[in-house]
C-alpha cells in the first residue's frame, strides 16, 4: 500500500479529535473548512450545520468501563513530576503565506492550457510503472500530479516538466526508503507516462476584495492576524497532544505490569482492528494485514500498548477517586454529535461506540492529572520548513493511543 495513503490515514485518525463547544468557526465557503480562519460572527463549517437532536441516551455508569481491581495487573510507579519536553512553535510569516496560498487554491479553478507544463501546473496522465528488473510489478493508473509538490519525487516532477498534452515520456527514477509506494523503496522504477492534459490553477488576486468575498474579514491585515492566531492555537494544541503521549509512555515505563484481563485484551484488539478495518470496509484480519502491510506481531504491539494504557488509566482513577458522571458523558456526546453534524447523540454514540467514548473521557482526565504534575521543559521546534497546512497532524499518528481522540472536558 502507498505510504502516502497511510500517512493520509494517520492524519485522518489523528484528526478525529472532536472539538465540541471549543470548536473554531470557519470562513465562508469555498475557503478550506479544514483549518482556515474565522471571524467572531463566522458561519460554522459545513459539518456543524446540522444540530443533533436531544434524543435520550441510555443511562450508564461510566466507571463500569474501567478495569476492576486494576492493581492486580499493574503497580503504578511514581507518576508525579514525570519529566518530558514540550515543543513550542513560532508561527512565521512564511507559514501565514502558505496558508493564504492554500486558501487561494481552494477557491481557484483549473483551466486546461495548450503549452508546456510548468511548476504549479496540474498534469493529468496515465502512469505505467515497473520496478526495474521486476516485470511482474507493472501497474498503470490514471492520475494527476501537481508540479512542484514532488508527490512521486523531485526527479519525477523534473522529468515531466516541459511536457505537453499527448506527449509520451519514458524515464527511470530512483527512490529511497521514503518512496510513495512501499514496493519502490530503495529501488529504481521505470516509467511510461502519457500526458493527457495540462491545467493551470487560476486563483483570485489576494487583496481586500478577495478577503471580503471569501472570508468573514474586511482587510488582508485582519485576515492575516486571524491566521496567525489560529496557527498559534493549532501548534499549541499539537504540542500539548505530543506531550501527553510522552507522559503516558513515561507512566507506562515507570510502572510494572503483571498481566491483564482477557476481556480488556479482547476489547482492545477489536478496537485496533476496527480502526484499520473501518477504512477498508472489512473486519477480515488477513485483509487488514495485507492492506496496511502489518503482521500479527505489529497488531499485538498496538493492542498491548492500549491494554497497558487503560490499566494505567484505571489505576490512576481508582487511586484518585476520579469519576466521570452520567451528566458529563451526556454533555460530551451531545457536544461532539452537534460538532460533527450527526442527527442525534444516539447516532454518534452508536457509530463511535460507547466504550471508546467513555475511555476518551477518562484518558483525557488522567492526561490532565499527569500534565499538571509533570516537569515539562519547553523546547523550540526547529525545522527548516514547517508545512502550515499540515499543522503537524503527521506527528499525531498514534492510531490506538490518542488521548485527544475526542475533546473531553477535564474532570476535576
DSSP characters over 208-220: HHHHHHHSS-SSH
Q: What is the pLDDT of residue 344?
A: 93
Q: What is the pLDDT of residue 28?
A: 38
Distance CA 222, CA 363 (A): 38
Instruction: State residue 133 phi and psi, 5-degree precision.
Output: 85, 5
| Coil vs helix vs strand at 146 | strand
Q: What is the pLDDT of residue 11?
A: 33
Q: Yes or no: say if 133 and 265 are a contact pair by the CB < 8 Å rule.
A: no
Paired strand residues for 412: none
pLDDT surpassing 50 at residue 96: yes
Cα distance from N-terminal residue to C-terminal residue, the chain: 44
Q: Find, among 32, 37, 48, 17, the residue nearest to 392 by Cα.
A: 17
8-state DSSP, 358: H
Please state, in angstroms and as integers, the Cα–Cα distance from residue 214 to each residue in 49, 67, 231, following that order: 18, 50, 19
Q: What is the pLDDT of residue 5?
A: 30
- Percentage of residues of the chain with pLDDT beyond 70: 79
Determine the Cα angle at 332 with ends 327 and 338, to 5°: 125
Given 3.40.50.150, 1.10.10.60, 3.10.50.40, 3.40.50.1240, which CATH number is that of 109-202? 3.10.50.40
The predicted model scores a pTM of 0.68
183-225: per-residue pLDDT in tens?
Answer: 999 999 999 999 999 999 999 999 999 999 999 999 999 999 9
Q: Find, among 167, 169, 164, the residue nearest to 152 by Cα.
A: 169
Determine which helix (DSSP H) or strand (DSSP E) holds 184, and give its type and residue range.
Answer: none
> Look-up: residue for cell 500479527?
296
> What does the pLDDT average to over 395-404?
42
> Look-up: residue for cell 497532544?
241
Q: Say which range, 11-15, 53-57, 190-194, 284-288, has the weakest mean pLDDT.
A: 11-15
| Coil vs helix vs strand at 35 | coil
- Percentage of residues of the chain with pLDDT beyond 90: 71
Based on its alpha-carbon atoms, the radius of gyration of the chain, rounded to whole angstroms, reads 24
Distance CA 268, CA 171 (A): 47
Q: Say which range, 3-12, 36-45, 230-239, 376-385, has the weakest mean pLDDT.
A: 3-12
| Coil vs helix vs strand at 173 | strand
Kindly report whether the peptide bond that precedes residue 289 is cis, defined as omega within 30 degrees of 0.
Answer: no
Q: Yes or no: say if 238 and 88 are a contact pair by the CB < 8 Å rule.
A: no
8-state DSSP, 53: B
Q: Is 358 exposed, middle or buried (0-12, 13-18, 19+ CB in 10 A)?
A: buried
- Residue 52: which pLDDT band, with cuts at 50, 70 and 90? low
Distance CA 195, CA 125 (A): 4
pLDDT surpassing 80 at residue 2: no
**CATH 3.10.50.40 placement within the chain:** 109-202
Q: Yes or no: say if 203 and 233 are a contact pair by the CB < 8 Å rule.
A: no
Please state, in angstroms and as integers, the Cα–Cα distance from residue 302 to each residue in 56, 69, 171, 305, following that order: 34, 23, 41, 5
Amino acid at each position: 500500500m502507498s505510504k502516502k495513503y497511510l500517512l493520509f490515514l494517520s492524519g485522518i485518525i489523528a484528526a478525529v479529535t472532536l472539538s465540541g463547544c471549543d470548536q473554531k468557526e470557519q470562513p465562508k465557503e469555498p475557503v478550506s473548512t479544514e483549518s482556515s480562519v474565522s471571524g467572531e460572527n463566522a458561519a460554522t463549517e459545513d459539518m456543524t450545520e446540522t444540530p443533533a437532536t436531544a434524543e435520550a441516551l441510555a443511562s450508564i455508569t461510566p466507571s463500569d468501563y474501567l478495569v476492576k481491581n486494576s492493581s492486580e495487573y499493574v503497580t503504578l510507579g511514581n507518576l508525579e513530576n514525570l519529566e518530558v519536553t514540550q515543543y513550542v512553535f513560532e508561527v512565521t510569516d512564511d507559514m501565514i503565506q502558505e496558508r493564504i496560498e492554500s486558501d487561494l487554491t481552494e477557491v481557484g479553478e483549473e483551466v486546461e492550457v495548450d503549452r508546456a507544463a510548468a511548476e504549479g501546473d496540474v498534469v493529468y496522465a496515465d502512469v505505467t510503472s515497473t520496478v526495474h528488473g521486476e516485470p511482474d510489478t507493472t501497474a498503470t493508473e490514471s492520475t494527476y500530479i501537481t508540479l512542484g509538490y514532488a508527490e512521486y519525487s523531485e526527479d519525477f516532477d523534473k522529468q515531466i516538466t516541459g511536457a505537453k498534452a499527448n506527449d509520451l515520456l519514458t524515464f527511470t527514477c530512483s527512490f529511497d526508503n521514503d518512496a510513495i509506494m512501499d514496493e519502490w523503496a530503495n529501488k529504481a522504477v521505470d516509467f511510461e507516462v502519457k500526458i493527457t492534459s495540462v491545467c493551470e490553477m487560476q486563483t483570485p488576486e489576494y487583496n481586500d476584495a478577495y478577503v471580503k468575498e471569501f472570508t468573514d474579514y474586511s482587510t488582508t491585515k485582519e485576515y492575516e492576524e486571524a491566521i496567525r492566531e489560529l496557527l498559534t492555537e493549532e501548534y499549541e494544541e499539537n504540542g500539548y497532544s505530543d506531550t501527553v503521549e510522552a507522559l503516558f509512555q513515561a507512566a507506562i515505563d515507570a510502572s510494572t505490569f503483571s498481566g491483564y484481563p482477557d476481556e480488556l485484551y479482547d476489547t482492545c484488539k477489536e478496537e485496533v482492528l476496527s480502526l484499520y478495518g473501518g477504512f477498508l470496509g472489512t473486519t477480515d484480519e488477513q485483509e487488514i494485514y495485507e492492506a496496511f502491510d502489518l503482521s500479527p506481531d505489529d497488531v499485538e504491539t498496538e493492542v498491548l500498548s492500549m491494554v497497558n494504557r487503560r490499566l494505567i488509566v484505571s489505576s490512576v482513577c481508582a487511586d484518585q477517586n476520579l469519576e466521570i458522571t452520567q451528566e458529563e458523558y451526556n454533555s460530551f456526546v451531545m457536544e461532539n454529535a452537534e460538532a460533527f453534524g450527526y442527527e442525534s447523540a444516539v447516532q454518534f454514540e452508536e457509530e463511535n461506540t460507547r466504550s471508546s467514548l467513555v475511555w476518551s473521557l477518562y484518558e483525557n482526565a488522567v492526561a490532565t492529572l499527569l500534565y499538571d504534575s509533570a516537569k515539562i521543559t519547553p523546547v523550540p521546534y526547529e525545522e527548516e520548513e514547517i508545512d502550515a497546512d499540515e499543522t503537524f497532524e503527521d506527528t499525531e499518528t498514534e492510531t490506538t493511543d490518542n488521548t485527544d481522540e475526542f475533546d473531553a472536558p477535564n474532570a476535576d
